[in-house]
């Protein structure tokens, strides 16, 4: 039987985490799955809300950033022999109804990582113009360095097979890990593709990236992609 782990990294998401877990259950996903909320040392009642809604909770003792939280989920998947890992944000931006699209794609294509993309089809929430420009710049950088074409490079709505998440269980960035992980996988010879999904605006809480943080985000991610490229190429 195929085992799927749904990793939901959550930091102070008490307002949305319960509803999200209920929504996943009522979606009636066509496979056997476990929901794992990785609570990144929240100050609020995220853990209790998640447990009450029937989720399994991994409580990190100190705050280590979203990347570290997702990586803890990969380690959990590795230890418990899961076949696929789905990564889903705790703020409700990623509609569970779109999960089957990701699942079907990874089962029926040769891809090791399938990314849920906002930009392949019209409709849904697409973020601000500035952010979209930034994302297309990073996407261009990815194409330049690895030849892989991914439009929604920062999307945190993704599905990995065991080959992909066992690589990332060892090497995963603490903050803004998404673009970096794509380049790690594609330069390791894995296949990465994307499938169109609709996203929503966040259901509660605040974004981890502020306006002034965007410049830092771009710098950090571009540098990280570049250094990952150099270190993987020189191996």
Partner 1 sequence: MEVLSTEFRIQLVAIITSFVLMFLVVRLILRGKLREEYSIIWISGTALMLLFSIWRNGIDVLGSFFGVYSAPNLFFFAAVLLILIYLLHISVVLSKLQKQNKSLSQEIALLKDKYEDKAEK
Residues that bind partner 1 (CB under 8 A): 38, 56, 58-62, 64-65, 68, 71-72, 75-76, 79, 174
Q: Which is nearer to partner 1, 103 or 176 (CB)?
A: 176
Q: Which is nearer to partner 1, 43 or 79 (CB)?
A: 79
140 backbone dihedrals φ, ψ, rounded to 5°? -65, -40
Q: How far is the CB of 67 from partner 1 (least distance, A)?
A: 9
Q: Which is nearer to partner 1, 174 or 201 (CB)?
A: 174
CB atoms near residue 234 (< 10 Å)? 6
Q: Which residues pair with 59 in a beta bridge?
A: 39
- Distance in angstroms (rounded) separating the CA atoms of residues 61 and 231: 31
Strands of the sheet containing 84-87, edge to edge, are 56-59, 32-39, 3-10, 84-87, 158-161, 113-117, 192-196
Q: How far is the CB of 5 from partner 1 (least distance, A)?
A: 13
Q: Which is nearer to partner 1, 152 or 178 (CB)?
A: 178
Q: How far is the CB of 123 from partner 1 (least distance, A)?
A: 38
List Cα–Cα distances, 111 to 102, 105, 163, in angstroms.
11, 8, 10
- Distance in angstroms (rounded) separating the CA atoms of residues 97 and 188: 31
- Distance in angstroms (rounded) separating the CA atoms of residues 142 and 148: 6
Q: Which is nearer to partner 1, 59 or 188 (CB)?
A: 59
Q: How far is the CB of 41 from partner 1 (least distance, A)?
A: 8
């Amino acid at each position: 039987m195929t085992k799927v782990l749904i990793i939901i990294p959550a930091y102070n998401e008490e307002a949305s985490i319960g509803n999200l877990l209920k929504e996943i259950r009522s979606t009636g996903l066509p496979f056997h799955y476990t929901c794992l909320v990785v609570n990144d040392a929240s100050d609020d009642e995220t853990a209790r809300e998640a447990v009450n809604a029937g989720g399994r909770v991994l409580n990190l003792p100190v705050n280590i950033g979203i990347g570290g939280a997702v990586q803890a989920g990969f380690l959990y998947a590795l230890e418990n022999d899961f076949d696929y890992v789905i990564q889903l944000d705790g703020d409700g931006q990623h509609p569970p109804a779109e999960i089957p699209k990701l699942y079907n794609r990874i089962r029926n294509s040769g891809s090791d990582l399938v990314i849920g993309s906002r930009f392949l089809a019209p409709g849904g929430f697409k973020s601000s113009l500035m952010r979209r420009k930034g994302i297309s710049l990073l996407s261009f950088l990815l194409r330049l360095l690895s030849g892989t074409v991914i439009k929604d490079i920062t999307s945190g709505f993704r599905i990995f097979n065991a080959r992909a998440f066992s690589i990332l269980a060892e090497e995963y960035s603490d903050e803004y890990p998404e673009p970096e992980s794509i380049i790690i996988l594609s330069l390791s010879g894995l296949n990465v593709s994307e499938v169109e999904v609709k996203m929503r605006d966040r259901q509660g809480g605040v974004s981890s990236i502020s306006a002034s943080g965007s410049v830092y985000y771009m710098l950090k991610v571009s540098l990280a992609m570049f250094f990952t490229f150099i270190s993987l190429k020189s191996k």
